Amino acid sequence: MNNPYILQPIRIVKIEQLNTEVKLLTLDYAFPKYNPGQFFMLNLPGIGEAAFGIMQPICDKNFMEVLVRKVGDFTTKLHELKKDDKIYLRGPFGNGFPVNEWEGKNITMIVGGTGIVPIKALLDYISLHRKYFGDIQLLYGAKTAEEILFNKELNRCQKFAEVMLTVEKDKSWQGNIGLVTNLITPKTVMPDNSVAVLCGPPIMYKFVIEKLKKLGFTNKDIFVSL
């Protein structure tokens, strides 16, 4: 069994440019057992280290996908890497989502931007264990339509979940316009026998939690992924 605290050298086997700021790195890494919501640390010796959420299907453990948004020095260096370059990894860390405690409940996921990464793993888990959960909702907001990630996967999710998308501004977008908090209304989100899972920029949490509590959610019903 791998020691999660020891750095392991991993080869990059594929790089995809998802939009102007986001790349998807595929790593040649045999995946250990993990829980949705856990994370790994990626390291470039002499440069730095940062945490990245686990996002790939639980049933596919022969590789690891890492979503990298260019927001600082370390992620800029990650964007400069090429196929076959080496990166160092350790983990997984964190407790993950308490999915066993959520069995029999409705689940509303409220997501902003690249917060879709750990939620993607959670959606995959739910799809594989669908009969154990109640109604499933995904409320996902981004700045523009280009920043809505994993459109194919989101379309597949509509087979077992209600998916609502919104963007803050985009003339070409035909759907909801505004912040993801606009999707949280008494008609769309029901607190009875439900949990809410939040993942996105920290600034979003205060406003989302305020709206959820007005609807009747309590602290024990709200789970935040950092």
What CA–CA distance (Å, rounded) separates 30 from 60? 9
List of domains in the chain: 8-93 (2.40.30.10), 99-225 (3.40.50.80)
Q: Is 68 annotated as a binding residue?
A: yes
Q: From 176, 154, 173, 153, select the one nearest 165 (Cα to Cα).
A: 176
Going residue by residue through the chain, which has 226 residues, state the pLDDT in tens, using 9 for 90 and above.
578 889 999 999 999 999 999 999 999 987 677 889 999 999 999 999 999 998 876 555 678 899 999 999 999 999 999 999 999 999 999 989 999 999 999 999 999 999 999 999 999 999 999 999 999 999 999 999 999 999 999 999 999 999 999 999 888 898 999 999 999 999 999 999 999 999 999 999 999 999 999 999 999 999 998 6
Q: Is 69 annotated as a binding residue?
A: yes
What CA–CA distance (Å, rounded) separates 108 from 225? 13
3-class state of residue 204 by DSSP: helix
**How is the chain split among helix, strand and coil, in percent rounded to 5?**
25, 35, 40
Distances (CA, A) of 143 to 25, 167, 170, 171, 207: 23, 5, 8, 12, 17
The pTM score is 0.90
Which residue bears the tokens 């977008």? 173
